[in-house]
Amino acid sequence: MEYYQYILIFHIMAFMSWMAGLFYLPRLFVYHVEHMDKPDYIKIVEIQEYKLYKYIDMPAMIATLISGVVMFTLNPHLFDMGVWAYAKIAAVLLLVWYDLSMNHYRKQLLTRTCTKNGKFFRAYNEFPTLLAILIVTYVVLKDVPVIFTGFMVILFAVIVYVLLKHAKEPNLKVVEEELKKL
């Protein structure tokens, strides 16, 4: 237990790094699918996707999981603290699934077999935000506030619906013209 707080600090830092990767990789996918007509640009985005996933996202996920297991091993009392620990674990497992799905989409984009559009990836990008909010809430409160959890799930479902159904694809020509002016 002497080193427990240092492991906790490492766990939080690893989680922050993992979330950074989960927040940014789908954004790169948006740029990827919306600029498929620009091979030079796509090559750069593919390199960014690869490096982000392989050198930041995946190691941070592994570090988060290992440090979390070590914390539960050193302090098995965490399992006795109520349902929040299990809710956190469930949310983390969903994040692992999400992370692996990002690698799946990354490989599809590389092979030009991905059929998803920018609106899909904008909406899909909301999933880790919801899970991060829930995880932090459960850990800080040491509880699972059902009303808050339900509200957040409904709120994010509405956000995803709006992004998928009503968001307009960006007018890339206007954006490019504005960038040329700079």
Q: Which residues are annotated binding-site positions for heme?
A: 11, 88
* Phi-psi map region of 142: left, alpha, beta (phi>0 left; psi -120 to 50 alpha): left
Give DSSP secondary structure letters for 125-143: THHHHHHHHHHHHHHHHTS
Q: Do the Cβ atoms of 130 and 94 come closer than 8 Å?
A: no
Per-position b or e across 18-52, b if 16+ CB within 10 A of its CB: bbebbebbbebbbbbbbbeeeeeebeebeeebeeb
Would you give the end-to-end CA distance of the chain in angstroms? 55
Binding site listing: 11, 88
H-type alpha helices, 75-144:
83-110, 118-124, 126-141
Return d(Cα 45, Cα 113) in angstroms, integer: 16
Over its C-alpha atoms, the chain yields an Rg (Å, rounded) of 19
